[in-house]
A and B are shown apart, each in its own frame.
Chain A
Amino acid sequence: MAPHVTIGGAAGFAGDRTDAAGPLVEALAKAAGPRFLMFETLAERTLALSQLERRRDPSRGYNPSLERFVGPVLARCLADNIRIVGNFGAANPRAAALRIQTLAREQGLRPPRIAVVEGDDLTSVLSAPELAARETGGTLLRNATDIVAANLYLGARPIAEALDRGADIVVTGRVVDSALALGPLVHAFQWRWDDWDRLAAGTLAGHLLECGAQITGGYFADPGVKDVPGLPEVGYPLAEIDADGTIVIGKPAGTGGRVDRQTVIEQVLYEIHDPAAYLVPDVVLDLTDVTVEEVGADRVRIAGARGGPAPETLKATVCVDAGVLGEAEISYAGPNAAGRARLAAEIVRDRLARRAPNIQFRIDAIGIASILGNDDGALRRPWDADATDVRLRFAARGARAEDVRILLDEVEALYCAGPAGGAGVRRHVTPRLASASCLIERAFAAPRVTMIEGPE
């Protein structure tokens, strides 16, 4: 049995740093035991955006940064048997696998054994009304006509199977993020699928790695209160996991950031609801007895995860078209900037009340109050008379771009017809997707693992 397994968490979202993997691979190459490099690049809406891209071009639909994530470390990973597991397949894992094959060929490397995990896409399995009947906590799907994406969260089993079958690289679409670590751990330690405490520990390891630098000093720094050394070159996390499920989190030597009790506990609870029942397809994780202990410089031991039997149903995220978001901004600076911004806001409100009374919009005064307020436009603080640099932001939603154009036009017209010194208008219309959660019976989950052999 392997002494311990080392997993590097090289990405926490689709737009994460593509140079984070380099130092991880350097460290992994020196580690004893099985080594894995994990890329989590698939937030809730990312997959639906990828699906839209696949509709436009059937050869795309995987993470657009795939080449930049994998390319720089592919040679070293293949040479040193560091196996890569990533959900960067997004809406088209097969195309992503082919792209990686091509990358290897272009770099003169041996053809990697790539496994593709499919079966998360429900659009050909359940109809829109069948999905609507399974929606939880809302009724978004009741009248939905255009389902952009419907994807089941698969668990770690197909990933472990792919590694058992000898994959150098496992490319998935939607799997629960933590499965990107649990799959390798089950493969390496041959944990049983009813060894709930081990599965819970592996899920916790994945949870701690799945947001990249968020456990090594990212999303943490508050200068003077919570300082992080070397944040510009923050190291991404390395997890060493023992066969008993004990986890040690660290980071590559020579990188910035910090790993201690504070950074780790913040991430233990990140996006958690009931800490006693974190549901993933393979297990229910209970965090209430987890202990976190500093065991060295930038090294923290995490133990005590407990597990319960896997849930009966699986979660799916379903995305539907949700029209557009229209935004327009204009700035006022210098003496009485706030007064002029306030007058500009009143002008737009006044004109739209008579010309487009049905449009609902929000106004933010960036520099005074723009983040902690609410959509009703009720600012949490009154206009600050001392502000000398205010950027007004107007935002509205509509079914189509035409529905929000009048608001954007009114903001732009403030240039000549509004208060003095109005500057820097920008306007954007962004398509939107709305997402719903469904609970799906396991009978509809049929994950498939396909080995993509190298080209001749």
Chain B
Amino acid sequence: MSKATVKLRDVANARAGDKGNRLNVAVVCRDPRHYGDVARALTVQRVAEIFASRRPAKVVRYDLPKLAAFNFVLDDVLEGGVNSSLGLDGHGKSLSFLLLDAAIETGD
């Protein structure tokens, strides 16, 4: 398999959920063979950079190899959350697409 640069959206799905001012984004590889590529690309630092405009207080990545998935938990990125954000998307439901737009390298 040759190297290629693709968008995360080309190889993985993502779903956002909220609890208060905390966001989680689950990233699921459509084909488990891309698990390693996504693991290499989506480091905690990289995800923090992608969400820099929301100034995350903390980013944690949980790895779920049996599901070929990752769970990212970002603290304090929802402008106070659905109860106090001035934005239209206080739940952060759209934010999975911020991650899906990330470029990643596939192949070895």
Query: Which residues 1-49 in A have Cβ within 8 Å of B in the complex?
Result: 44-45
Chain A residue with Cβ nearest B82: A45
* A374 CB-CB contact with B under 8 Å: yes
Cβ–Cβ contact A288 & B64, under 8 A: yes
The residue in A44, A290, A364 that gathers the most chain B C-beta atoms within 10 A of its C-beta is: A44
Provide the bound-state CA to CA distance between A375 and B97, in Å: 19
Provide the bound-state CA to CA distance between A286 and B18, in Å: 19
Residues of B within 8 A of A (CB): 9-10, 13-15, 17-20, 22, 24, 26, 28, 30, 53-55, 62, 64, 66-69, 71, 73, 79-80, 82-89, 93-95, 97-98
Cβ–Cβ contact B13 & A266, under 8 A: yes
Provide the bound-state CA to CA distance between A413 and B64, in Å: 54
Cβ–Cβ contact A262 & B13, under 8 A: yes
Chain B residue with Cβ nearest A267: B15
Provide the bound-state CA to CA distance between A289 and B65, in Å: 9
Provide the bound-state CA to CA distance between A271 and B82, in Å: 14
Provide the bound-state CA to CA distance between A288 and B66, in Å: 7
Cβ–Cβ contact A269 & B15, under 8 A: yes
> Would you give the 0/1 interface string for A167-187, flagging 1 where the beta carbon is closer than 8 Å to chain B?
000000000000000000000
Report B47 CB to chain A, min CB distance, Å.
15
Supplied contacts A372-B98, A397-B86, 9 more A-B pairs, CB within 8 Å: A262-B13, A265-B68, A268-B67, A269-B15, A271-B18, A273-B22, A374-B87, A393-B88, A435-B83
Given A271-B24, A325-B86, A434-B83, A374 and B62 contact (CB-CB distance below 8 Å): no
Cβ–Cβ contact B89 & A371, under 8 A: yes
* A229 CB-CB contact with B under 8 Å: no
Interface residues on chain A, size class: 35 or more
* A292 CB-CB contact with B under 8 Å: yes
Report A428 CB to chain B, min CB distance, Å.
12
* A433 CB-CB contact with B under 8 Å: yes
Cβ–Cβ contact A432 & B83, under 8 A: yes
Cβ–Cβ contact B66 & A373, under 8 A: no
Cβ–Cβ contact A272 & B89, under 8 A: no
Residues of A within 8 A of B (CB): 44-45, 137, 219-220, 222, 225-226, 262, 265-276, 287-292, 304, 322, 325, 361-362, 364, 370-375, 378, 380, 393, 395-397, 432-435, 437
Chain A residue with Cβ nearest B94: A371
Cβ–Cβ contact B89 & A374, under 8 A: no
- Residues in A whose Cβ lies below 8 Å from that of B71: 269, 272-273, 275
Chain A residue with Cβ nearest B73: A273
Provide the bound-state CA to CA distance between A372 and B100, in Å: 13
Report A68 CB to chain B, min CB distance, Å.
24
Cβ–Cβ contact B86 & A271, under 8 A: no
Cβ–Cβ contact A374 & B26, under 8 A: no
- Residues in B whose Cβ lies below 8 Å from that of A380: 53
Provide the bound-state CA to CA distance between A370 and B88, in Å: 7
Provide the bound-state CA to CA distance between A273 and B22, in Å: 9
Cβ–Cβ contact B86 & A361, under 8 A: yes
Provide the bound-state CA to CA distance between A18 and B68, in Å: 35
Given A275-B64, A288-B64, A372-B98, A378 and B53 contact (CB-CB distance below 8 Å): yes
